[in-house]
């Protein structure tokens, strides 16, 4: 009588790229709500509590050189980081607030690890699949949000250098798209380029466009 056929041992299921980890917290912040050009950027960061990163703070109070150094250190030492963005077209279609929330959601969804909760700088929350809390001034008091603010700011500044190379008449490398006197003068002289947000008042005034909803919405 033939021996019964032995069943091969089952193999463990392969882990996916993302998995939930109880207790992990992600910090989220954005860069680029105020500029007249370019995408709005958000970053999400889960720090490693066992690894210290000295000097984390709101990116706006740090020098460019310090932000660059901390950007590399955060990337090297954090458990994971993710950057999300909303395009100029999405900003013009949705308004800047909704586009910012969209970029934040994309940043959180892009994390390799799924946090148990999310802390977000500001007073508005995107729709997320985990508990979240908005903290006004969070980039100055929550290290993970500080780290996210640095990642978002450096990432966007680098995009502005690329915009400057493509559209050198506007000075994007210097003002990063903000409505400085030089930027407004360049708009009046050269008109708007494809990177400018048509829903923002100074741009639509130069182009002679009809009124949109308030760009600060």
Q: pLDDT tens digits for 145-189?
A: 999 999 999 999 999 999 999 999 999 999 999 999 999 999 999
Prediction pTM value: 0.86
Give the burial string for 121-151 (b: 16+ CB within 10 Å, else e).
bbeeebebeeebeebeebbbebbbbbbbbbb
What's the whole-number average pLDDT of the chain?
A: 90
Cα 157 to Cα 153: distance, rounded to the nearest angstrom: 6
Band (pLDDT 50/70/90 cuts) for residue 15 is: very low
Contact 30, 121 (CB under 8 A): yes
Whether pLDDT at 4 is above 90: no
Backbone angles phi, psi at 30, to 5 degrees: -125, 165
Residue 14: per-residue pLDDT: 31
Specify the pLDDT at position 165: 98
Buried b (16+ CB within 10 A) or exposed e, 155-172: bbbebbeebbeebeebbb
DSSP string computed for 186-204: HHHHH---TTB-TTSHHHH
pLDDT in tens, 77-132: 999 999 999 999 999 999 999 999 999 999 999 999 999 999 999 999 999 999 99
Does residue 16 surpass a pLDDT of 60? Answer: no
Q: What is the mean pLDDT of residues 51-69?
A: 96
Query: Above 80 in pLDDT, residue 56?
Result: yes
């Amino acid at each position: 009588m033939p021996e019964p056929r032995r069943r091969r041992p089952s193999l463990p299921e392969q882990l996916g790229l993302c998995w939930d980890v109880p207790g992990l917290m992600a910090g989220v912040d954005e860069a680029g709500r105020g500029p007249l050009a370019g995408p709005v950027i958000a970053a999400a960061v889960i720090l490693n509590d066992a690894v210290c990163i000295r000097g984390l703070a709101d990116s706006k109070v740090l020098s460019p050189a310090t932000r660059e150094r901390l950007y590399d250190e955060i990337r090297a030492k954090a458990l994971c980081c993710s950057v999300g963005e909303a395009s100029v077209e999405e900003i013009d279609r949705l308004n800047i607030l909704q586009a910012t929330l969209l970029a934040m959601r994309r940043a959180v969804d892009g994390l390799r690890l799924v946090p148990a909760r999310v802390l977000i700088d500001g007073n508005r929350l995107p729709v997320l699949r985990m508990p979240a809390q908005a903290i006004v001034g969070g980039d100055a008091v929550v290290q993970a949000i500080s780290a996210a603010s640095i990642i978002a700011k450096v990432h966007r500044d680098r995009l502005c250098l690329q915009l400057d190379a493509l559209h050198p008449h506007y000075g994007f490398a210097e003002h990063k798209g903000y409505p400085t006197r030089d930027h407004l003068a360049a708009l009046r002289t050269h008109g708007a380029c494809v990177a400018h947000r048509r829903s923002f008042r100074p741009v639509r005034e130069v182009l002679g466009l009809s009124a949109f909803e308030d760009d600060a919405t």
